[in-house]
Chains A and B, each alone.
Chain A
Amino acid sequence: MISKLLQLLFKHIDAFLMACLFFALLTSLFVLYSASGQSLERVYAQAVNMGVALSVLWVVANISPQKLERVAFALYVLGVLLLIAVALFGSISHGARRWLNIGFTQIQPSELMRIAMPMMLAWYFASREGKPSSVNFIIAGLLLAVPVALIMKQPDLGTALLIASSGFYVLFLAGLSWKFLLGATVSLMGLMPIFWSMLHDYQRKRIEILFDPTQDPLGAGYHTIQAIIAIGSGGATGKGWLNGTQTQLDFLPERTTDFIFAVFSEEFGFLGNMLLLSLFTVIIIRGLMIASQAQSTFSRLLAGAITLNFFSYAFVNMGMVSGILPVVGVPLPLISYGGTSMLTLCLGFGILMSIHTHKNLVAN
């Protein structure tokens, strides 16, 4: 009886992926405890966030991909409308208009787009019969460009680029021609200067400082410099949990959120970093396996895009904290403190599990 109930409960949960996620979330709580200056309050808050996110994961995992496919278009339209609303009525904080007040709480519609975008494009390609044509790709490109442009306008360059890439993954997996990819790469290079001129001053500054953080050691370069010092001084095996001097003595900025990786690196060293990279790699491989085994075009494209999107976030965050990418304000997936990103992330993993556990039903 109990085993039956358990079986029913975890029918749509992928045990392997779930184990990986648990391991990552547990790590998150430990790192957060250290990063927050031994604040159990912070750890509890994050545990609550995780609880909510995992519940969402469970719910989504139990929804079949077919149902998801049906709501894809509506979700996308809702997302775009909300982004337009943000542009019109959003509240400004730190010089950017990103949040929308919906009475009882504030939401960040760009977060919704992280899921809605790949869903929409996957739905679009799934609804076309046969091999997608160039026209299909052009239409998909436009579907991609609208929300990305809106987010860029906020301005939130980091999120815009990541959402653009999440959409791009769908295009790529759907078979965007190699010629086009090559051409696009070349022309992107050519468009760089124009793109540069469109950037806001602070964005340019961030990129400039990326190449030379010492330009502004006490200002914009401070974050990167202190993060790199934290990582480098972690050495091979790290300074030990709760013993990172950069962390504990407040030299690291934003260490519970965007720069939490520096805390992890300082205290657990190169060894810890390799383990974390391995964990992320295993999660990604599992996601790609789910994608390759998926039975419908929609499932495949969506699973692939969600997995690669997870990779983007992890890579961009670790890259920016270790000083090889500009500081774009992206949290480290599964580890950084914050409810929204945790929720979006688990939503994605829920979809992956749903795709994986519903395939036999489809086959039948």
Chain B
Amino acid sequence: MGAELKNYLHEQHHFKVRLGVAALIVFGLFALLAFRFSYLQLKQYNHYQTLAENNRISLVPIIPNRGLILDKNGVILAHNFFAYTLEITPAKVKNVEETIADISKLVEVSSLDRKRFKKFREQSHSFESVPIRTHLNEIEAARFAVNHYRFPGVEIKSRLFRHYPLGKLGSHMVGYIGRINDKDLKNLEASGDLSNYKGSDHIGKSGLEQYYEKQLHGTTGFQQVEIDADGHAVRVLSSTPPIPGDNIILAADSKLQEIAETAFGAHRGALVAINPKTGEVLSYVSQPTFDPNLFVDGIDSENWKALNESLDKPLINRPLRGVYPPGSTFKPFVAMAGLEAGKRAPPYSIHDPGFFTLPGKSHRYRDWKPSGHGTVDIQKAITISCDTFFYGLAMEMGIDNLTSFVRHFGFGRKSGIDIDNVNGKSENGGLLPTPEWKQRRFKQPWYPGETVIVGIGQGYTLVTPLQLAQATAILANNGVAMKPRLVSHIEDAESGKKQMLPPVIQDRIELNPSNIEIVKRGMIDVTLPGGTAASVGANAGYSIAAKTGTAQVIGIKQNEKYNESAINERHLDHALFIAYAPAEDPTIALAVIVENGRHGGSTAGPIARKVMDYYLLGKVPAVVVAKDTKALTGNTAVTTTTPEEELHD
């Protein structure tokens, strides 16, 4: 063998060894790959399968139609309509400001729209779409659609909008919805309802819209959609239809509501009318009102400022949150307390000199009639609203006995009506003062004189119009307290099946029928000639039991005389009026408060009369008829002119 060949074979051998090593490395690394594949595809298969499915399948919520709010006759108070909105998803847009500027060349974008967009954007995540324009008309929608390709991340959406066709009418009762904010989200999370709000961006904020949110909202449906990497739906895999929200039907009649609101004219105040037998609220007025449509898409700061800073306080839900001294409307309940305690039963009577003094004291608690009423028994005391009589009665009963008795009529506690949220505030329970309360509140002892004035509904005593109406209803219903509620029944939007809300007996006050008879008799006489509201009962055609009242807005010093003309209009006394009718078999009980209306009989009484006339006789006042013929055109200012007999209480 030659050296060359030997060398060649040697080299060949070395090369083969090297090739062998290389082959081993190749096998080793391929084995590593095989191991990696087995890990990913066999061991972790379920994990990656899930990830792939999550990539591919998107759950798209289908928002249910919100239930309608209707009056007892089917008149729509709240409904939905479809409209186009233009929405931006900030996360998908490079420069939001520029995009908005470009959009505004195609469709009008007002500064209001921009402000609203800014506000909503701050409240939402960047991957959620935020409306820049709502209610696009067909032309605007078409114009944008043509240019859509230029605006990635901007979408035209067809959405359901809430609308309150009657506007201001009954708005404190109906309430409104608004965009879901962080606080709402937290509440939804706490109640476990968050998943049902996927896709929903509005929620009831106030009034019935808030109270019946659960029923009105409905159940969100879902579509399982296969999507591509850009999020475009490729095909629908499965679908669960939404269940629309239930319609809620009120006991109130929008016509009655209109009559009641119109009757207030330019006055501020409240009216609550209740069917004493069922607790159904027939009318719920808070004047002035506001247009709930302003709130649906987020109220702008100008409108908000106007509403919030108005001296008339249109946003205050007066029946629920307004507290007033009940004044003389408190007297029938004090009388009831006295009779049930075995005091002042006829024929007991007093001689009224025009004032009351505590034994051993010189301070005179004056009657509204300086000369006094002469001989007065308990029934007459109600009819003529004799202060002196009730001063003495209250004094004799003592504050604890008095308040614990009238509490049964709903004073000093929440009524439990189906509205409990008004701009984040709940029902006001009013105030029935007691010595303990005073000690707690003012760190002061209770003085006997404070008991005296509670007898005529003054002092610390505070009631809401709703409480006053409820107390009147309880009295009218002979002591059986029905829970007040605005909604009479709930209707399944799909099947139309109605679910009546059964009347709920809240309390049953054991009252002696003869005592009830005495008080009621006194109240019936109020609307008869000689009573403090004789004009209200005149030519009614049905009998009315009533009581007038006046609540002082500012205190009058001991030796001062109340001089109406010298007092600022807003410092004038509030006028109160409670009534029920027909007196023999009442179907309506109501309370009216006219702020700064001075005399219950002359300003509040006629409003009550109009409401009862319509409710009992179907009478429509001339101004409302005239307004109706002009058809829903804004608010016609109507002033109640009642130059009737000079009435006092």
Contact = CB atoms under 8 A, between A and B. Distances in A.
Interface of A: 130-131, 169, 172-173, 175, 226, 228-236, 245-246, 249-251, 265, 269-270, 273-274, 277, 280-281, 284-285, 288, 291-292, 297, 300, 304, 308, 311, 315, 318-319, 322-324
A211 B353 CA distance: 100
Given A130-B7, A249-B227, A249-B234, A173 B41 contact: no
A288 to B, nearest CB: 5
A270 B22 contact: no
Given A246-B55, A270-B42, A233 B49 contact: yes
A319 B33 contact: yes
A172 B33 contact: no
- Most A Cβ at <10 Å: residue of B7, B23, B226, B228: B23
5 contacts: A175-B15, A235-B49, A250-B229, A277-B30, A292-B19
B29 interface: yes
Interface in B11-70: 11, 14-16, 18-19, 22-23, 26-27, 29-30, 32-34, 36-38, 40-42, 44-45, 47-49, 51-53, 55-56
Nearest to A303: B19
Contacts of B36: 319, 322-324
B114 to A, nearest CB: 29
A235 B41 contact: yes
B22 A229 contact: no
The 5 closest A-B pairs by CB, nearest first: A232-B48, A233-B52, A250-B229, A270-B41, A232-B40
B229 A175 contact: no
A319 B36 CA distance: 9
Interface size class of B (residues with CB under 8 A): 35 or more
A230 B52 contact: yes
B41 A280 contact: no
Contacts of B48: 228-229, 231-233
Nearest to A238: B41
B230 interface: yes
Contacts of B41: 231-232, 234-236, 265, 269-270, 273
A interface: dominant SS: helix
Interface in B219-268: 226-230, 234
Given A169-B22, A172-B22, A173-B22, A232 B229 contact: no
- Most A Cβ at <10 Å: residue of B18, B38, B41: B41
Contacts of A245: 52-53, 55-56, 226
Contacts of A131: 11
B56 A249 contact: yes
Given A232-B45, A291-B19, A318-B33, 20 more contacts: A131-B11, A172-B18, A173-B15, A175-B15, A229-B52, A231-B40, A232-B40, A233-B49, A249-B227, A249-B229, A273-B41, A281-B26, A281-B27, A284-B26, A288-B19, A311-B29, A322-B33, A322-B37, A323-B36, A324-B32
A66 B38 CA distance: 45
Contacts of B27: 281
A1 B348 CA distance: 146
Contacts of A288: 19, 22-23
Nearest to A318: B33
A47 to B, nearest CB: 28
B91 to A, nearest CB: 10
A300 B15 contact: yes
Nearest to A244: B52
Nearest to B49: A233
A304 B42 contact: no
Contacts of B226: 245, 249
Contacts of B15: 173, 175, 291-292, 300, 304
A304 B52 CA distance: 41
A246 B52 contact: yes
Contacts of A130: 7
B55 A175 contact: no
Contacts of B38: 270
Given A273-B41, A292-B16, A322-B36, A232 B23 contact: no
Contacts of B44: 232
Nearest to B234: A249
Contacts of B42: 235-236, 270
A234 B55 CA distance: 14
- Most A Cβ at <10 Å: residue of B29, B37, B56: B37
A285 B52 contact: no
Contacts of B45: 232-233, 235-236
Contacts of B14: 175
A250 B228 CA distance: 6
A246 B55 CA distance: 8
Contacts of A292: 15-16, 19
A313 to B, nearest CB: 12
B49 A232 contact: yes
Contacts of B56: 245-246, 249, 251
Given A249-B234, A285-B23, A265 B37 contact: yes
Contacts of B11: 131, 297
Interface in B493-536: none
Contact of A274 (B22, B34, B234): B34
A232 B47 contact: yes
A173 B52 contact: no
A191 to B, nearest CB: 22
B22 A304 contact: yes
Nearest to B34: A277
Contacts of A175: 14-15, 18
A228 B228 contact: no
Nearest to B229: A250
Interface string B175-211: 0000000000000000000000000000000000000
Contact of A315 (B33, B228, B234): B33
Contacts of A265: 37, 41
A159 to B, nearest CB: 19
Contacts of B229: 249-251
Contacts of B227: 249
Contacts of A324: 32-33, 36
Contacts of A228: 40, 48
Contact of B37 (A169, A173, A273, A285): A273
B25 to A, nearest CB: 9
Nearest to B35: A324
B42 to A, nearest CB: 6
B33 A304 contact: no
Contacts of B52: 229-230, 232-233, 245-246, 251
Contacts of B32: 324
A308 B20 CA distance: 12
A291 B37 CA distance: 30
Contact of A308 (B16, B22, B37, B47): B22
A319 B7 CA distance: 40
B595 to A, nearest CB: 60
A357 B412 CA distance: 110
